[in-house]
Amino acid sequence: MVHQQSSRPRLSPASDTEDIVTLLAPRLAHFAGVARTEHVTRAAREMNVPQSTLSRAMVRLEEDLGVDLFARRGRTVSLTTAGRAFLASVERALAEIERAADEVRADADPTTGKVAFGFLHTMGAETVPGLLHAFRADHPRVRFSLVQNYGEAMLERLRAGELDLCLTSPVPDAPDLVARRLDEQKLRLVVPADHRLATRRRVRLAEAAEETFVTLEPGYGLRRITDDLCREAGFKPRVAFEGEEAETLRGLVAAGLGVALLPPPAVARPGVVELTVTAPRAAREIGVAWLEGRPDTPPVAAFKKFLLSRRGNLLPT
């Protein structure tokens, strides 16, 4: 087979990588098929491609690369040294593409697919395990990739496509997100067991105006709620310690290092007393959020429907 001189310019080594990939990628499977059979007619039959189309594709591939990949004898071909080297890389690339396709199909499978689910640290001990247990009663083989983080970090991971859904507080209000309120969780003023307020069952938050507070770091939803509630009670909290996890804050309170506004613990902690706050109303809304306009895979759609069905009944009683 004699190559016709083409007026189409060859790719030079300086060509943009994206242009090279766009040009060559559709022909790689054809090249691998011809290289495997070493026969154009047989390869065309196996790949259900017209022989003339396959022959032209191989010629154009060589022209674009500027390298002879085949030695031709009629319809029989054999790989050149350059062709063998190219084939090894092409087979690795095609295998990786096949692996990636298998992976995304598996993740979208209605029965065995995967959900990337984010939630607040305070929901990890009891709420989320209970939710997953209930969901898997009807979907026993759905897999989960679980991420615990604070609200803003999870929303950024939603936007980056790393999460499908997240439970967060406060419920976000952003044009690129969809959010639904699911439940409300009361917050308590947690004080050391030997604190002056420890004998009380209820307290107005203003009564803690002179106390030292331990809180989550700025950026956490619960920190924002704490600051807002203290402001509503007429004071700015004096913060001595900032942390990243509610149970660590309880430990600091037990050690006598301050007081904290926290949701109820999964397990009662010794050394602290948890007081109902009567004024202002101390609670946080819990909601589920997802990215606006992103199509759901069947397992994500099923879990989203499940979470929405738990509205008003999300948290353990």
Give the model's pLDDT for residue 47: 87
Give the model's pLDDT for residue 36: 87
8 domain residue, yes or no: no
DSSP 223-271: HHHHHHHHHHTT---EEEEEES-HHHHHHHHHTTS-BEEEPPPSS--TT
CATH code (residue 207): 3.40.190.10
Give the model's pLDDT for residue 76: 81
216 domain residue, yes or no: yes
How far is the CA of 38 from the CAs of 16, 55, 130, 169, in angstroms?
Answer: 31, 12, 59, 62
Q: Could you tell me if 153 and 231 lie in one domain?
A: no
Q: Could you tell me if 48 and 93 lie in one domain?
A: yes
Q: Are 254 and 208 in contact (CB under 8 A)?
A: no
Q: Could you tell me if 216 and 192 lie in one domain?
A: yes
138 domain residue, yes or no: yes
Q: Could you tell me if 119 and 95 lie in one domain?
A: no
149 domain residue, yes or no: yes
Q: Could you tell me if 264 and 298 lie in one domain?
A: no
3 domain residue, yes or no: no
156 domain residue, yes or no: yes
How far is the CA of 88 from the CAs of 26, 81, 111, 172, 280, in angstroms?
Answer: 17, 11, 36, 50, 69
Give the model's pLDDT for residue 139: 97
Query: Among 59, 84, 108, where does a domain finish?
Result: 108
11 domain residue, yes or no: no
Domain count, the chain: 3
Query: Among 108, 137, 156, where does a domain finish?
Result: 108
Q: Could you tell me if 180 and 201 lie in one domain?
A: no
Q: Could you tell me if 295 and 274 lie in one domain?
A: no
Q: Could you tell me if 178 and 121 lie in one domain?
A: yes
In a structure prediction context, what are the per-residue pLDDT tens digits for the chain, which is 317 residues long?
Answer: 434 444 444 544 444 544 565 567 778 888 998 998 888 888 889 888 898 888 898 998 898 888 999 998 877 889 999 999 999 999 998 899 889 888 999 999 999 999 999 999 999 989 999 999 999 999 999 999 999 999 999 999 999 999 999 999 999 999 999 999 999 999 999 999 999 999 999 999 999 999 999 999 998 999 999 999 999 999 999 999 999 999 999 999 999 999 999 999 988 999 999 999 999 999 999 999 999 999 999 999 999 999 999 999 999 86
Stated pTM of the model: 0.79
Q: Could you tell me if 96 and 157 lie in one domain?
A: no
CATH code (residue 80): 1.10.10.10
Structural domain range at position 170:
114-184+285-310
Give the model's pLDDT for residue 8: 44
Q: Could you tell me if 127 and 248 lie in one domain?
A: no
